[in-house]
Structure formats: C-alpha cells, structure tokens
Structure 1
C-alpha cells in the first residue's frame, strides 16, 4: 500500500540498554530472541544487550575502602560463554537488526578489577556505567524504596550524586553513563512531595561537567521517570556531546519504550541524529 505524502514514519534511534535472560534479574522475563523480534516490530534499528554485571564480594584490585558489600540476593556472575553464543545465534536469526554486545557495570569505581576481568573475558561493544548502590554505615547498599525510609530523601540524593561524581571522575571502564538519577524511581512522593530536578541542578551539572570532559555519552533512560528538556539541556550547556537512548528493558514489550517522546525531549534540548541511525545523537 502506498503511503500518503502526509504520512510520517518515525525514525527511532537504537536501544542501547536492554537486558535478557543472561542478566541475573531478567532470567524469568525475557530472551534475546523475543526482544529482537520486538525491536524489529517497533522499528528500532539496533539493540545492545547490556547485561547486568554486579558483584557480591571484593576481588584483589577492587577498592573496598573498608566497606562491606551489602545483601544482594539473586546476584550471579554473567555466563559470558552462554551470552556470547546467544548473541551470535540472534545475529544469524535477525540479519536486518544490528545487535551489539555489552554490559551494565554496577559501581565500576568500587569494582574496577572485577569489571576489568569481565571485559577481558569477552568482547563487549557497549559498556554502561551504573550506580545502583551507595555506602551507608560501612556497607555498599542498594538504592531502593527501603533506603529512602532510612535516610532523608534529599540527603540520599546528595549522597548519590556525590558518589556519582567519584564514579565519573575515577573510572574509565565505561563509555555511557546510565540513568544518572536512578534513585528518583523510588522517590517517596507521599513524604517528600514531587521530585523536582531543579532542586538538584548543581549536582546534575557537576556530574555532567565531569562526564562531558571525559568525552563520554549520557543516557536518556525511558524506564526511569523521563528526563525533562531542561535536564538534557543542562547536559548540552555543560559541554555534553552525545546522548544515548536506553529503554532498560527487562521484557520484550519494553524495548524502545517511549522512544518517540524521548526523541522529542533530546531534540528540543539541542541534539540531533548522529552519522547514521546506529550512532548516538550529537550536538
């Protein structure tokens, strides 16, 4: 059927943050094959399977600084051989889709030797740096709703952003900073009111300056409450060069989720498509 001249087919960007059954928290919810099919159906040109790489203990060369690793039920090592074989199988099955290998490294500034060991053991094209945990009373604790019950919400965000500056400035093992304000997923609106990015503007800008100075990309994560145009513009104003789109999908239906809205946000902040559909969006 011919498309009318008034019909506009959206050109969506690549999804650079997807989890499959090889992530320890996604084993029961998705497979690479199902997520590849979903990406094709949605018009996503490429997916990066950035599986969780988290650790339950320190290795030689990590930086515990007398910290203990808090409880991490369910966390398991990435099966690199099985993951790599699945990547190859899906590339053969879906030649029309670009499929990138990758990891999402949790707290890589605390676990540099452990993360480097994973990177040395496989071939990973997209490496995300994430902060899911912060030090609290001598332990590295997950950031979640329970933690907001123990700490004043504004103090928790202050601690989080302070540690993220350390991550950005002290670790060069990743190329994309994922969900830069991850705790807002658990923000206690009933006790603290609405989450306003403006309350933490200087924190955001400090993180962005460090990340921009390193030449790396900032992710707009569509699983978290979506960033505002103003937030992405702060990234542009602080010298940020590139934006990566990530659904943080843990199920097929979420691959490329809300990318049409995210594209509008990123474009309004001043960024444009890169060299091709597979590239980051650029200044």
Structure 2
C-alpha cells in the first residue's frame, strides 16, 4: 500500500440490521489502524418498514415485507462511538448513517437525525417501486428484463439526487449490478447505461456533493470515475461498505490509483474527500 490511505467513509458495525456480532465496532477500529487508515465513518443502515409522518410515499406504494430490517439503537450506537474514540485516539472515528431512499422517507430520516449527533450522512437507493410496492431491487431481477431493472433504478436514483438534500455523499451509484444475472445476460456492461450514469452524475455535480467510490466488488470502476470527472464532479469519497472488520479499507490501494487517474487529488488533509 502507498503512503497514507484515504478515510473509509462507509463502514457498518453490529448496529446495522444486516450484520452480526462478528461486526464489532472495536474490532473494525483495530483493523482500520492495522491497514493504515486515518479515519472511519460508521454509517449504519437506516431503513424503514412503514411510512411515517412527513414521508413521501411514491404514488401510494406499499412497503414490501422487510423481515430483517430493524431500527438503529441510536443511544447504544453513539455510546459505542464514544467508547471507541477513547479507546483508539489515533483513529478519527465519525458517526453516521446510510439513509435508504431518503427522498421517500424524508420525515423518518429527519427524525433519526434529530435523535443524535451524526457526522456523515450517505444517501443510498436499495429499493424501487414494482407492482405498487417498494421492494429491494435484487428481488425485481427475474420478473423484468435485467436492462429494464437497471434503467428504472437510475431513473429513481436521479429523483433521489434531485429531491433530497439530507445526504452529503451518494453511495454505490449502481447498486443493482451486484445482482446482475450474468448467467443469463452475460457480463454487466457500463457502456450500455452510459447516459443513465452521466445524467445522475450531472445532477449530483450540480448539487456539489461527492460521489462514492465503493470498493465492494465490482463497484470500483475507472470508467465511472472518468465519467464523474467529465460531468463536473468535484469530489470523491472512498467507501469499503465493510460489513465485517476484515473488509474495512479493502482495495483502497487500487481505489486510490483509479481516482487519481481520473483527475482527483487528496483534499485539504488526510481526512478530507479527494477533489479535482
């Protein structure tokens, strides 16, 4: 690995509903120091199973069953953040959330943010409306042509960027590709969706917010970073999307090369986003 790596701005601990006890915040901090990270942001999943006050349900859509989704234990989470800050003084530790569909759940997200102090807010899209229900996008593959699923996802992602200002960083901009049915469709081709990518990137650049380079394979892409720069993107945030300690800072040496080749450089200090 080269020099000082960037901060990992997208990490999950035991306080996210899709992790387990092995995702210890303390062990993640130890791993971050071991691989040479200057900082980590614990951006726990904030997702919802029902519509709340001041939310904006799309066209009256119902929320599909989300059996595993649980609310964040904000008090326990923030107490753990403080313990880790005392235990690991050489690591900058940021609190945060990954807000799922913040444009739909505006009121619910606002209520969570009011319940504590959060340094970093990611905006993410995991779900789309299908047959009148808000469903995780991976459940739509197989019911619609794969390319249609991806195009619909980007259209919703554009609406998220244009109608929500609650988040600071856009996370994993092409989340559905993790579930792309390569056995039926062949390899996922970014070029097939170039205009969709660029349209989202232009909107995000206009809002002056960073794009995340997510190293949870296969989302780290030199092509995408190049398009982001060409569309006026001003900054890049690095995120491993780690759900276990071993993956914090994963592939950041490669990610640095990708971002640098696209024309971005380290920011004001080792904790900052990389900028053009």
TM-score for the superposition, normalised by structure 2:
0.98
Q: Tell me by how many angstroms 1:74 deviates.
A: 1.1
**Structure 1 unmatched ranges of 5 or more:** 1-7
CA distance in 1, matches of 2:109, 2:141: 28
Q: Distance in 1 between matches of 2:30 and 2:137?
A: 32
- The alpha carbon displacement at 1:226 in A equals 3.3
Residue 213 to residue 43, structure 1, CA distance change in 2 (3 Å) = same
1:60 to 50, 53, 56: 53
Deviations for 1:226-253, whole angstroms, at most 9, x for unmatched residues? 3322210111111100000000000010
Where 1:99 maps in the other structure, the secondary structure is strand
What value does the CA root-mean-square deviation take over the aligned residues? 1.0
Give the structure 1 partner of residue 132 of structure 2. Answer: 138
2:72 pairs with 62, 78, 84, which one? 78
What CA distance in whole angstroms lies between the structure 2 residues aligned with 1:258 and 1:147?
A: 30
Name the CA distance, whole Å, in 2 between partners of 1:88 and 1:222: 27
Q: Secondary structure at the match of 2:140?
A: helix
Moved over 4 A (4+): none
Q: 1:118 aligns with which of 112, 119, 131?
A: 112
Does the alignment pair 1:267 with 2:246?
no
Q: What aligned pairs does 1:233-244 form with structure 2 within 5 A after superposition?
A: 233-244=226-237
> For 2:116 and 2:258, how far apart are their aligned partners in 1?
35
CA contact (8 A) 1:179 1:224 kept: no
Aligned partners of 1:182 and 1:224 also within 8 Å = no
Q: Point out where structure 2 has 5 or more consecutive residues left out of the alignment.
A: none
Please report how far the alpha carbon of residue 71 of structure 1 lies from its aligned counterpart in structure 2 after TM superposition. 1.3
TM-score of the pair, normalised by structure 1: 0.95
Aligned residues: 275
Question: Following superposition of structure 1 onto structure 2, how do residues 131-170 of structure 1 map, counting pairs within 5 Å?
Answer: 131-144=125-138, 146-170=139-163
